[in-house]
Amino acid sequence: MSLPSSESPFNPNLQGTPIIYVSFNYRLRPLGFPQGREPADRKAPNLALSDQLAALTWVQENIGAFGGYKNKATVFGVNAGAIMTAVQLLNPDFSKFARATILQSGSAALALTYGPLYQQVDWDNFVAGVPGCENIFSTDSTFECLRSVNTSAISMSDHRWDGFMPELPSLLFSKGIFAKIPFISGDDLDEGSTVFTPIDNYTTELIEDIIVANFTPPVAAAALSELYPPIPALGSPFNTGNDTFGTNPGYKIAAAIIGDLSFQSQRRFWTQTTSNAGVKTFEYLFAQPLPENPPFLGVAHDSEIPYVYGNVPNTTASEGALSMAVIDYWVLFATSLDPNDGKGVSRPTWEQYTLQNQACQTTQRYAMLNLHLQAVIQLNAHDSGRFSQGVDRLPQLNSAYLPSLNFLAWFIRAGQTRSEIKFLLLSLL
Query: Residue-wise over 175-184: b if at least 16 C-beta within 10 A, else e?
Result: eeebbebbbb
Mean pLDDT (whole number) for 49-66: 94
pLDDT of 339 > 90? The answer is yes
- Per-residue pLDDT band for 163 (boundaries 50, 70, 90) equals low
Measure the CA–CA gap between 131 and 265, rounded to whole angstroms: 42
pLDDT, mean over the chain? 75
DSSP bridge partners of 360:
371
Q: Are 170 and 109 in contact (CB under 8 A)?
A: yes
The predicted pLDDT at position 47 comes to 87
**What is the enclosing helix (H) or strand (E) of 71?**
none
Q: What percent of the chain has pLDDT over 90?
A: 30
pLDDT more than 70, % of the chain = 76
Give 114 or 307, the one with higher predicted confidence: 307
Assess contact for 56 and 97: CB atoms under 8 A: yes
Which of 150, 121, 116, 138 is closest to 47 using CA atoms? 116
pLDDT value at residue 55: 94
Give pLDDT tens digits for 186-198.
999 999 887 788 8
> pLDDT by residue (tens digit) across 249-260?
899 999 999 898
Measured distance CA(84)–CA(48) in Å, rounded: 9
Of 39-53, 143-157, 276-290, 312-326, the range with the highest mean pLDDT is: 276-290
pLDDT in the model for residue 41? 85
Q: Where are the alpha helices (DSSP H) in 260-380?
A: 265-276, 305-309, 317-336
Residue-level pLDDT at 120:
83
Strand extents, DSSP E, 165-261 = 183-188
The larger pLDDT score, comparing residue 78 to residue 392, is at 78
| Other residues' Cβ atoms within 10 Å of the Cβ of residue 121 | 10
- pLDDT for the residue numbered 157: 43
Which residues is 187 bridged to in the sheet? 285
**Domains of the chain with CATH codes:** 19-427 (3.40.50.1820)
